Amino acid sequence: MPEKKTPIIIGSDHAAYDLKEKVKALLMERGIDVEDAGCYNEDSVDYPDFGIKVASMVSAGKFERGILMCGTGIGMSMVANKFPHVRAALCTDLFSSIMSKRHNNSNILVLGARVVGDILALEIVKAWLETPFEGGRHQRRLDKFDRIDAAMTD
Ligand code: RB5
């Protein structure tokens, strides 16, 4: 199956600024349009501001997928998964990255720049880009997430 080329929105805090720049370069090399929601340097910022920017766009369907990065990835995944229709997966290994697409159809990949080295982080991104969703019984399970979204918006 050919790799999807739909645009990706990315964001990070200062702890992952350097990794974000490397992820951006990788996406651009692959011919994927990138919307960079910041941050734009290593000055200290608050990760929720950037998590909210990216997750709200994915939640609203303005972007099909996004990538978020902070020191551990924990704060960004907490923020992102508060948004309806967001399935953010914090991945520190290749297997999790692959399975987060195959079984969970993750629409935001989250990375912890202080947890994984740059080389592994970029391999995690490549695996996430290249792996398709399997659908079938996994779609049935994801459909059950809609109940959560409905309860949250009632
Ligand atoms: C910033 O120091 C750090 O707390 C942040 O990058 C992240 O790890 C939060 O979850």
pLDDT digit string, tens, across residues 17-70:
999 999 999 999 999 999 999 999 999 999 999 999 999 999 999 999 999 999
Question: What is the residue type of 138?
Answer: H
Evaluate: CB of 47 within 6 angstroms of ligand 1: yes
**Is there an atom of ligand 1 within 6 Å of 128 CB?**
no
Nearest-CA residue for ligand 1 atom 3 is 71
Phi, psi dihedral angles at 9 (to 5 degrees): -100, 135
pLDDT for 60-108, tens place per residue? 999 999 999 999 999 999 999 999 999 999 999 999 999 999 999 999 9
- Going from N- to C-terminal start, the domains of the chain cover 8-153
Query: What's the fold here for domain 8-153?
Result: Ribose 5-phosphate Isomerase B; Chain: A, (3.40.1400)
Which residues, 6+ apart, have CB-to-CB distance to 26 below 8 Å?
A: 122, 125, 126
- The atom of ligand 1 lying closest to the CA of 70 is 6
The alpha carbon of 16 and the centre of ligand 1 are apart by a number of angstroms equal to 9
Q: How far is 146 from 144, CA to CA, in rounded Å?
A: 5
Nearest CA to ligand 1 atom 7: 71
